[in-house]
């Protein structure tokens, strides 16, 4: 059984999910793959891990470095798990590229991994914001894909104080 709560945020409604011990999901309203990893669920906003997640999100949306993330247990393949664990290590207000993540995986495993494969895993991240997939960009500074929508990715990066100069929107090829 999974347990849900909702959270009103500056980027729209969020749905937060837990297995009772750790977060298994955090989705922006209308996000691709919304609730795709959930089983049967019920509303349970008073669950301690969901309370911790709300407190973390309150600090985050107040423009503060929110501190350590609540316990997470995203559901996915071993490869996706590896990529999602790397997302948790991206510092607040910093960016990395898909290629950099692919290189780190190659260093850890001894096997080459493509930036495209990393992008697929990042795109299926079930715990948005807390596992900060919005901090991953294309090698040329392109704000490629974001399951929650490009405008929300930009809003999250602005909230963190990221310098958006030099970043581009891929469909328009223009600087922000």
Q: Encode burial over 91-102: b for 16+ CB neighbours within 10 A, e otherwise.
A: eeeebbbbbbbb
Q: Is 44 a catalytic residue?
A: no
Q: Minimal CA–CA distance to 38: which of 25, 22, 47? A: 25
Among the listed residues 105, 133, 136, 143, the single catalytic one is 133
CA-CA distance, 52 to 150, in Å (whole number)?
27
What is the separation, in whole angstroms, between the first and last Cα of the chain? 43
Give the active site residues. Answer: 133
């Amino acid at each position: 059984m999974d347990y849900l709560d909702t959270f009103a945020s500056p980027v729209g409604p969020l749905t937060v999910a837990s297995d009772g011990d750790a977060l298994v999901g955090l989705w922006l309203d209308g996000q691709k793959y919304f609730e795709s990893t959930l089983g049967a669920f019920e509303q349970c906003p008073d669950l301690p891990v969901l309370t911790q997640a709300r407190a973390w999100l309150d600090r985050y949306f107040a423009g503060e470095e929110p501190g350590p993330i609540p316990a997470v247990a995203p559901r996915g393949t071993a490869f996706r798990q590896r990529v999602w664990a790397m997302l948790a290590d991206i510092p607040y207000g910093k960016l990395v590229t898909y290629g950099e993540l692919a290189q780190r995986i190659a260093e850890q495993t001894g096997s080459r991994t493509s930036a495209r494969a990393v992008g697929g895993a990042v795109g299926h991240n079930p715990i948005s914001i807390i596992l900060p997939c919005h901090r991953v960009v294309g090698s040329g500074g392109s704000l490629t894909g974001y399951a929650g929508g490009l405008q929300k990715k930009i809003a999250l990066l602005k909230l963190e104080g990221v310098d958006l100069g030099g970043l581009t929107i891929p469909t328009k090829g223009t600087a922000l």
